[in-house]
Amino acid sequence: MAAEFKQSRRKFLIGGIALAALAGCQTGPRTTEPPPTTQAPTPTPTGPVVETDRLRVAVLAPLTGDNAAVGNSIANAAKMALLDTNNSSIRLSIYDTAASGGANKAVNDALAAGNGLILGPLLSENVRQVAPAARNRGVPVLAFSNDEEVAGDGVYIMGFTPTQSIESSVRYARARGARDFAALVPSGDYGQRAAQAFLRTVNDVNGNARAIETFDRSRAGIDAAVSRVIARQAVDALLIADSGRVASYIAPKIQTGVSLMGTELWAAEDDLGQTSALRGAIYSAVPSARFESLERRYRSRYGSSPFRLASLGYDGMLLAIRASQSWRPGDRFPSSLLRDRGGFEGVDGIFRFNRDGIAERALEVRRVTPGGHEVVQNAASEF
């Protein structure tokens, strides 16, 4: 199913008008509110569409089902980008990857309707379903996934990856005297990527990786992994590569004198400082000031708070709007734009795609405080 969205004309450069609307607020604790209850956009029938005066961009996201709140946040934010830039050169259509037929039907409907750029989908398994059909038509996919394994060959991922967050935090800790490191990582793909990033970066900064302990997400599994890491040689810094909720359970069990580090997952929670053992811990994430502005405006428009990943929909649409300056109706999307080494700027700061199709991002380093967090190292403003 697809819902279409139109706006009146105005040109836009990423970093310009829309970002000015997002600027002007100080970085501070992120407000966490219940998931938005925005209803899915009303579907309209799709079919072959021939347009000579408008570019077609599709958003593929779960508008129903378990991930509907996240998907609708992303879709609504993409619409907001068109509103903020008053752009009329793009016709945006939104397809539900959780509807009957799933991601396969969503992408086939989008391609049949003539969409030349796909934003989404969200889940890595859906990206794998969407990629072949889009590739056969020469249509790039800017997925919202953080799974680096699905990137490449026409697929670009915009999600926040643990790899970059861990690298940033380890380098920050090493520069401030930490030499001996250990890590607690969950079982599964996320934990494997976290462990690989941890080992590689500790080696790159001439540190010592003393231990990596893997746990399943059960109380007994976590307790056993913590006991194993405590029994090993003392370290200067310990990475807890899981959510803030899991970190809040682990931190009080760690001996004092060990600096704690987290990942980008911690950015989703603003109450980490309520756990006294986490105060002073660091983690790296995309800058938050512009998202806080987007969040206020989203709440005013839709009556609920967006999920943090809504910014991916907004920034993906900003990139499409920038492309519209050289992309003509009926032509293929100018994929060379996606390889611009100068990168792009959006709600989440600057980013660019590397040769593997993974978004490289400039991250800030934050320290957990009793009231939320403070920024101890600003994100870079240019590559």
Q: What is the pLDDT of residues 343-354, one digit of tens each?
A: 999 999 999 999
For position 29, what pLDDT does the model report? 31
For position 255, what pLDDT does the model report? 85
Query: What's the token pair of residue 6?
Result: 């139109």
pLDDT tens per residue across span 120-131: 999 999 999 999
More confident residue, 31 or 128: 128
Mean pLDDT score across all residues of the chain: 89
- Above 50 in pLDDT, residue 10? no
- Residue 49's H or E segment, with its range, is none
Interior angle at CA 65, CA 313 and CA 185, nearest 5: 70
For position 6, what pLDDT does the model report? 43
Question: In the chain, pLDDT over 70 holds for what percent of residues?
Answer: 86
C-alpha dihedral over 282, 212, 152, 335, to 10 degrees?
10
pLDDT tens per residue across span 244-289: 999 999 999 998 899 999 999 999 998 999 999 999 999 999 999 9
Question: Cα-flanking dihedrals φ and ψ of residue 117, to 5°?
Answer: -150, 135
- Residue 282's H or E segment, with its range, is strand 282-285
Amino acid at 123: L
- Beta bridge mates, 368: 373
Measured distance CA(270)–CA(147) in Å, rounded? 25
Query: What's the token pair of residue 200?
Result: 């590689």
Amino acid at 106: A
Q: Does residue 255 sit in helix, strand or coil?
A: coil
Where does the pLDDT of residue 37 fall: very low under 50, low under 70, confident under 90, or very high at 90 and above? very low
The model carries a pTM of: 0.85
Contact between 87 and 9 (Cβ < 8 Å): yes
- Above 50 in pLDDT, residue 59? yes
Measured distance CA(8)–CA(87) in Å, rounded? 5
The pLDDT of 115-142, averaged and rounded, is 98
